[in-house]
Structures are given as C-alpha cells and as structure tokens.
Amino acid sequence: MTHRPPFTLLAAAALTLVSGLAQADTGKLLLTGGVSTIAGSAGGGLTPWAVIGSNATEGEVGVSAYATRAATQDYSLNGYGVALGLHDRLELSLARQDFDASPAIALNGIAPFGVTPGQHIKMDVLGIKLKVAGDAVLNSDSWMPQIAVGLEHKQVHPGSIGSVLDFLGTKTSGTDVYVSATKLLLAQSVLVNGTLRYTNANQNGLLGFGSAAPGKNSRSLQPEFSVAYLINKKLAVGAEYRFKPNNLQALGAAAGLGAALREDDWKDIFVAWAPSKNVSLTLAYVDLGRIVPGITNNRRQTGYYLSAQVAF
C-alpha cells in the first residue's frame, strides 16, 4: 500500500507553476520568508512561522521544494516536500519523512514484537496555513506581528514497529493545530517567532499519537520559539526551542521501564544562507534530547541538520 499519489499530484502542480503559470518575481526580503520545516511548512527547521512559503507576494502564486537530513548518535531522518504559496495568504504543503529506527530492534528483548532489523518509520504530513493578520515585513515599523493559524495532518507508516505502537496504545494518524506570530524588527535585523501547538504527537508523530493509560492520550498546548539575527541580506543565524508533551513516560514507568519512553524538548542553533532569492541552505546543530532512551543507553540525541530549499 502506498500513499504517494497525493504527493505526486502536489508535486506535479508545483512543476506546472514553475514551468508555465507564473514565477513570483518577488519583492520579499531574502530569508524573511523562513526556510522549510521538517513538516514542510515555512518557518525554521523545527517550528513553523506565521510567514507564507515561496517567494509569492500579494496577487502571486509561488512554489517551494526542499530536501533535508538530520542525524544523531543513534537515529537519522531524511525528508522532502513541496509547498504552494497563494497570494501571500494561504500555504499548502506536503512532506514525506523517513526515520531510521534501527535501534528499535532492541525492543524484541522486552517482548516478542517482531521488529525487523533496519526498520524505518515513514510519515506523510499535509499542512495548511492561513495568514489572518499583520505583515512581518510591511508592519516592521510597528509592534503588530504577522499572525497565522495552521494545521498539520500526519499519517505514520510504522512497518514492523506497528506492534510496538499497538502495545503503547498510540494511533497512527493525528492532527496538530497551531497559531504562530512572527515579528521582524527590521532596524535591529532581528526576527522573532512564537508558536502555540495543540498536539498529542509522540516524537512529532513518528511514535504515533496519544498513549494508553496511565500515559497522556489527550492533546495539550506546547509552545515553540524561534529567534534569528540577519547578519546581512543573505546570511542569518538563530536558535529554536520546541516544547514536547512527553505522553508516554508514565506508561513506561507503570510497566516497570522507568524513564525508558521519556520524550525531551527539541532545540537547535542554525545558520541559513541564501546565495540567491531562489535558493537557501540551512545547517544546524540539533539537540533532540532522549528518544526512547531505554534502547539507546539514555543518550541525548545531538547531531546535525542540513536542508536545501528552492523557491519561486
């Protein structure tokens, strides 16, 4: 079974826009539209911003595409996706993530889960974002931020790890809802963003959604923050912090596993470079905390994040 057709349709639409419909000859300032997040929407690497992806301004239609890789001591994640920006008001995005969950084979020592060697977890993310107020650039001389609301619908394809998710009582699909506020302080060359996410995703959804009791099954509000300093019009540095719900730890403790299922907050320090208005590259140091620490000797998962984006 495959879920590629929706992605193929959106990608085809994106190619049509690039080759035939219109290229947004934009007046957007470089990097103020963010880069692509791991979920495909415009923002930082870990968290969405209120900006609308692509180079399209009001009255234009634009498209962006990205590819990314993150690697830590025990895990790695590859991702790619496309986004459509409509009139600098509406953003539609689609992303595919491929998570190397090879350490999960150790779970067979806890119970006969049947996890196969080298198992990968794949996840599709459909995103919608709508700008509802303000403009990050045009209102840069006031305190009014740009505000957007959005959702990310996620579908997990766990492979042989599905039996583990069944044991945990997690669902393989879920929807995050969020509101973001982005403010560009142009005179200070600083961009700040705050996002409030309503979610019950475990490790961003890669370990499903919710939990069996006594874990937390319901959604909770989780804040996310970003700050970027524009060194010049082509180069920015910044940091992000994303709070996580830690739904599964209580379930693991009740099963006698201690903190084996603990989930920590995510954070990064990044540098973004835009050699042209159509291309941007992002490199980050990421600290994803502990990810199922019971099978990774309680190691914190730190490493790198690399992403390339093209936008029109």
Q: How far apart are CA 200 and CA 190, in angstroms?
A: 32
Positive or negative, the CA dihedral 207, 213, 216, 218 is positive
Q: What is the pLDDT along the chain (312 residues), one digit of tens a residue?
A: 444 444 544 444 444 444 333 344 455 777 778 899 999 999 999 999 999 999 988 899 999 999 999 999 999 999 999 999 999 999 999 999 999 999 999 999 989 999 999 999 999 999 999 999 999 888 777 889 999 999 999 999 999 999 999 999 999 999 999 999 999 998 899 999 999 999 999 999 999 999 999 999 999 999 999 999 999 999 999 999 999 999 999 999 999 999 999 999 999 999 999 999 999 999 999 999 999 999 999 999 999 999 999 999
* Four-residue CA torsion sign, 305, 263, 172, 219: negative
Backbone angles phi, psi at 95, to 5 degrees: -135, 150
Give the CATH number of the domain where residue 98 resides: 2.40.160.40
CA 96 to chain centre: 11
For the chain, what is the domain count? 1
Q: Please give the residue range of the domain that contains residue 207.
A: 4-311
pTM confidence score: 0.90
